[in-house]
Structures are given as C-alpha cells and as structure tokens.
Amino acid sequence: MRPALVAGALYFIVLFAAGFVLGALRVLWLAPQLGVLLALLIELPIMLVLAWFAALALARRCEVPPRAGPRLAMGGVLLVLLLAAEFALSAVLPNTSPAEHLAAYTTASGALGPAAQLLAAALPLIDAVLRSLRTSPAPSSRPGP
C-alpha cells in the first residue's frame, strides 16, 4: 500500500502546482476577459489532461499495482490532500473564509472544481481498468457446445 500512498502524495504535488499556475492565469488573465465560468471551462480540460498523464506516470514510476485497492488509495490521497489544501488556503487568503469557500461549491463554476477533482482521483483506477481490458484474453469466436 505504501507505493499507492507515495504516488498519491506526488500526484497531489504535481496537480496542486499545475493548478496553482493555471489558476493564477485563469483568475488574473482569462476571467476578467471571458468571465469566471468560461475561464474555468478552458482551464479544466487542460488540468484533466495533465492529471491523466501524471496519474499514469506516477502509478508506473511508483509501481502502484493495477488493482482497484491501490489505485483507489492513490486517488483518495490526492483528493483528501487537494480538499485540505483548498480549505486551508481559503482560511489564510485575504477576502475568503472557509464558509465562503464551501458556499462557492453551490454555484455552477464552484461545482466544477470538485467534480474535476473527483474525476482526477478516479484516473488511476480508470487506467488500471483500461490496462486490464487490454491484457485480458479476447473471447473465443468459436460457438459453444
């Protein structure tokens, strides 16, 4: 289980760093020109592609077995750390409080973030499922008895 926990922590670091950079670009540059929702809709696919490649690379590099338990643990560590980091940042950044942060989840743009985080957390498991489908033997084309 240790490789899954390490991979999950590294997955968090990669996505948090990428999210910090892309989020800053979104808030400072895109959102004022296009609006919050459209800016977020531009950022999310980029983040999810980064998450896919990071999940694959880290699962392989950390040798996380392609089974449900370890892959769910890897994604779970990512999700817990992302949510904790967001909540902690809302407590220390000016003009936001943890209560305001939670209330933002009720808006369309606010709900997209957690939805994308859940999808990113599922990516290690999705990779394992896809790998098992590629490696499982094809069904026989002969008719049965």
Is residue 55 a part of any domain in this protein?
Answer: yes
For the chain, the average pLDDT equals: 91
Is residue 101 a part of any domain in this protein?
Answer: yes
How confident is the model at residue 140, as a pLDDT? Answer: 60
Is residue 106 a part of any domain in this protein?
Answer: yes
pLDDT in tens, 101-119: 788 888 888 899 999 999 9
Is residue 139 a part of any domain in this protein?
Answer: no
Q: Is 89 left (phi over 0), alpha (psi -120 to 50) or beta?
A: alpha
Segment 3-32 shows an average pLDDT of 96
**Alpha-carbon gap, residue 137 to 107, rounded angstroms:** 46
Q: Provide the domain count of the chain.
A: 1
**Alpha-carbon gap, residue 7 to 93, rounded angstroms:** 28
Is residue 142 a part of any domain in this protein?
Answer: no
Is residue 123 a part of any domain in this protein?
Answer: yes
How confident is the model at residue 142, as a pLDDT? Answer: 60
Residue 90 · residue 97 · CB < 8 Å:
yes
Domain that holds residue 89: 2-132
Residue 123 · residue 82 · CB < 8 Å:
no
Is residue 140 a part of any domain in this protein?
Answer: no
Q: Does the pLDDT of residue 141 top 60, yes or no?
A: no
How confident is the model at residue 62, as a pLDDT? Answer: 97
Is residue 79 a part of any domain in this protein?
Answer: yes
Segment 26-52 shows an average pLDDT of 96
What's the pTM?
0.86
pLDDT in tens, 44-76: 999 999 999 999 999 999 999 999 999 999 999
